[in-house]
Amino acid sequence: MSCTPRLTQMLRARGYRMTSQRFAILQALHDGGHLSPAQIYQRVQQTGMTEATVYRTLEFLAGNGVLLVADRGNGHLAYELAGESHHHIICRTCGKQMEIDPALLAPVISQIESETGYRLNAGHLTFFGLCSKCTPKP
C-alpha cells in the first residue's frame, strides 16, 4: 500500500504541494527503506532529476517531518519514510544492524521527558556498539 496519500496530506496541511520530484523520492523510499542520497539518486535519475535536486528535496522532506534521517555511523546519512517509531542498533565493526522494539525505549524516553521538561520526538534513534560476534571474548 502506498504511503503517498498520507504524506501528500501532510505536506498540504503545511501549505506545500506534492511535486513530481517529491513523489519520485517518496516512491523510491517506499520501495526500498533506508537509503543513502546516492541510492535514492540512482533510483530516480531516469526521471531526469539532478543529484542536486535530490539533495534539496531530501532536506525539504526531512525538514517537514515526511522523512527521517539516520546517521549510519560511517559519516553517511540514510533516509526513510516517517511513520511508526523504530530504532536501530549498528555494530561499529562489521556494520550488522537490527531494529530495536520501541517499547524497550518508551520508559527511558518518558523518564527523560519528566526529568527535563522536554517533549522528545524520538521517532528514530540509532545506537552503536559491538555485536556478539565482534565483542572481544574474555
What pLDDT sits at residue 122? 65
The pLDDT assigned to 3 comes to 67
State residue 1's pLDDT score: 43
Q: pTM value? A: 0.69
Give pLDDT, residue 77. 84
Under 8 Å CB-to-CB from 11, ≥6 apart: which residues? 17, 18, 22, 64, 66
* Domains of the chain, first to last: 4-81 (1.10.10.10), 87-129 (3.30.1490.190)
Q: What is the mean pLDDT of each run of 10 residues along the chain (138 residues)?
A: 73 90 91 85 93 95 86 77 77 86 87 91 80 90
Element (H, E) at 4: helix 4-13
